[in-house]
Amino acid sequence: MSATAPDAPANDGQFLQRLTIFTLGLLMVWLVIQLLKQFADILQPLLIAGLIAYAILPPHRWLVRHGIRPALSYVLLLVVLLAMFAAVGQAAYRGMNELTEDEAKIERYHNRVTSIQTSFARLLRDAGVRDAEERLHRATSEFTPSKEVVLGGLQRAAGGFFGVLTFVLIAFVYLLFLLAEKITFDRRIALAFGDVHAGRIKELAQSINEAIINYIAVKMWISLVTALMSLGVFFFFDIEFAFFWGALIFLLNFIPYVGGIVAMAPPVVLAFLQHESIWPGVIIIALLTGIQLFTGQILEPRMAGSRLNLSPLLILLSLAFWGSLWGVPGMLLAVPLTVVIKIVLDHIPETRPIATLMSNL
């Protein structure tokens, strides 16, 4: 009894200490989430600019290896990047304007929806469903928009385009300053923290840089292959706004699991509206699904290997978290931010077990 009595206060003290640490940790997480929400307008374009900076590093290294000066390489890549953004933006704006001003085309699409509903009701009636047309009309009337609703939505989308353009321009300005800061970053770290601590910081930064560069490089090639193959399908079936749909597939393919599926939906719907027969739409669904399976399940694992080393469940949860916090920009940033968190945790001995749990071992 006397040997075990003094241990009780010590155990109580350890429990209270752990409870305090856990409570403070929860408060810190809550505070970080509130700050992320409050400063989203600043952080979103800044982090997107950082993602773009990582994306242009591999072609920058290639240009430098082939004899082009580093500063000139950055200038060339920024000009190409700005031209690509301008081309995609112009195509998107022109397409939306064309739809909002061409009411006859919207009327034709609306009539096509009615025709598809009638054909489907006929199939149900032939299959023995009583009052098929009336039931189908009641079921679809709640979520089938009228011509006026579609036109209003397109006009709002055209107006929202300027918000997207502003976001892109802010991100581009951040990108210019990030690239300028990169030139003297190592020297300032050494002066600020000394050679020993600067070496550890540089080692951590190098691990983060390599992991994100590898991830983005693989994703860029996979997204480009997916977009080009999909673009070929759109051209073959004469789908309107093919370049815009290709650019959308390229961009949303950076969102794991769900991005490619979401990007497929608009051109598939348009295929059913453009063609009188349903078979072009069905074939496009099959081809786009095959392309997504080929690039996502065969090509990407061979190129990426196990370099990302993140649990699939963790990736899905990070998509849900960042998507609920910041929407589409958050989903684009979800995997890179999770990679950064994992690497930082892996370099701290006390949090290394958490990093191990985050891994796909």
The answer, yes or no, to whether residue 260 has pLDDT greater than 90, is no
Q: Which two tokens stand for residue 204?
A: 């951590």
Query: 17 or 47: whose pLDDT is higher?
Result: 47
What confidence score (pLDDT) does residue 230 get? 94
The answer, yes or no, to whether residue 30 has pLDDT greater than 60, is yes
What confidence score (pLDDT) does residue 241 get? 83
The answer, yes or no, to whether residue 271 has pLDDT greater than 50, is yes
> Which residues, in sequence order, are CB contacts of 193 under 8 Å at separation 6+?
201
Q: Which of 41-50, 125-134, 284-293 has the lowest mean pLDDT?
A: 125-134
Residue written as tokens 């786009």? 288
The answer, yes or no, to whether residue 101 has pLDDT greater than 50, is yes
Query: Which candidate, 257, 205, 248, places its Cα nearest to that of 230?
Result: 248
The whole-angstrom separation of Cα 29 and Cα 25 is: 6
At 145, is the pLDDT very low, low, confident or very high (cuts 50, 70, 90)?
low
DSSP structural state of residue 297: I
pLDDT tens digits, 308-335: 677 888 888 998 999 999 988 899 898 8
Burial group, residue 181, by CB count within 10 angstroms (0-12, 13-18, 19+) = exposed
CB neighbours (10 Å) of residue 106? 18
The whole-angstrom separation of Cα 40 and Cα 326 is: 7
Query: 229 or 140: whose pLDDT is higher?
Result: 229
Query: 157 or 186: whose pLDDT is higher?
Result: 186
What is the domain partition of the chain in residue ranges?
43-308, 309-361
Burial group, residue 42, by CB count within 10 angstroms (0-12, 13-18, 19+) = exposed
Q: Which of 153-157, 173-177, 210-214, 291-295 has the lowest mean pLDDT?
A: 153-157
What confidence score (pLDDT) does residue 1 get? 47
> Which residues, in sequence order, are CB contacts of 220 under 8 Å at separation 6+?
55
What confidence score (pLDDT) does residue 11 get? 66
Region 106-135: mean pLDDT is 68
The answer, yes or no, to whether residue 283 has pLDDT greater than 90, is yes
What confidence score (pLDDT) does residue 2 get? 47
The answer, yes or no, to whether residue 245 has pLDDT greater than 50, is yes
The answer, yes or no, to whether residue 339 has pLDDT greater than 60, is yes
At 158, is the pLDDT very low, low, confident or very high (cuts 50, 70, 90)?
low
